[in-house]
Structure 1
Amino acid sequence: MNRSASLLIRTLAIAVLALMLAAPALADHHRGGDDPDRERGEHHGQRGHHGGGMGGGREHRLFVTVTASATQDRAMPLTLANKALDQGLEVRVLLCGDGAELALADYQAERFDPPGVTPKDLLGRLLSNGATVEVCAIFLPNTDYDEDDLTDGIGVGAPDDVAEYMMGPRTRIFSN
């Protein structure tokens, strides 16, 4: 087994284990939970937009994953993430697989109508308005890219931190 395959298997095993260990938090999500720090989004220095729109600001947060290769399939979750941010929700985006191409500084994305922008434009708007944007932890080790190839402001999501965030009692998840 080559090094890349071994690293991928190990990373996936860690992610599965993290999700299994987080199962009680998922149950708490449906009961309301009782971790005030997690509800405020203050674990591991998470930042977000905390405006006072109809979405309730710190009351709810949105976790979005983008994995698709088609322009429309990338644009829709990013459009909704921007709308959630406009309504005051904290937004965190994880770009995985083909969707992680959007994180590359030199990637040229196709325009879509309406409104004549690219998914990369939508991602830039999220970044400039305080959303956290990351590539999944297995993207860079399994490509020829490194962190220097990423757009400024985009980091690498740590599986433990991402899993904890996803299981937060006030987190809504949208995956595409």
Structure 2
Amino acid sequence: MKKKTGLIGLLAALVLLIAAGVTLADDKQPLLLILTSGDTQTQGMALVLSNEAQRQGAEVRVLLCSEAGKLALKEHEAPTLKPRDVSPKQMLENLMQGGAKVEVCALFLPNLGKKQEDLLEGVSAAKPPVITELLLDKQVRLLNF
């Protein structure tokens, strides 16, 4: 009888571990990148790190403000960076293809005289209450460049 009880306990523990593993695997670390810099290398590094975080399983969200907001404009041409000869705009588009949500600051479009249709497909204007909620969430990692 002791053998059966031990085996049942072992199986129960195994089931709990498997269930816990599935739950942990489904929880993606949320990451919010706030990018304001107009410097190409700074933009590139921020986006390299964000792409890597996404590759490692993070759920990435990007808020582009000030000069960095121009990366989200259809008309914007960004210079490429070595060693891969990829532009920050291309890195941003890669993030979006991986499922990242990208927004420009609420002040960006009206102060640049631009409209929603001037943005890349899939990019929208951020809603301050939503961004504030993310900033106050202790589970969200924040990158600020």
Common fold: TM-score over 0.5: yes
Map of 1:157 onto structure 2 = 126
Matched, 1:113 2:82: yes
Map of 1:80 onto structure 2 = 49
Tell me by how many angstroms 1:119 deviates: 0.1
In the TM superposition, what are the counterparts of 1:1-176 in structure 2 within 5 Å?
Answer: 58-176=27-145
Tell me by how many angstroms 1:121 deviates: 0.5
Secondary structure of 1:151 counterpart: coil
Distance 1:105 1:160 in 2: 26
Letter in 2 for 1:66: L
Percent of aligned pairs sharing the same letter? 38
Secondary structure of 1:161 counterpart: helix
* RMSD of aligned Cα (Å): 1.4
**Structure 1: tracts of 5 or more residues without a match:** 1-51
Which structure: larger Rg? 2
Map of 1:27 onto structure 2 = none
Which stretches of structure 1, 4 residues or more, deviate above 2 A after TM superposition? Answer: 56-59
Tell me by how many angstroms 1:58 deviates: 2.5
Letter in 2 for 1:158: K
Secondary structure of 1:113 counterpart: coil
Secondary structure of 1:77 counterpart: helix
Tell me by how many angstroms 1:131 deviates: 0.4
TM-score, scaled relative to structure 2:
0.80
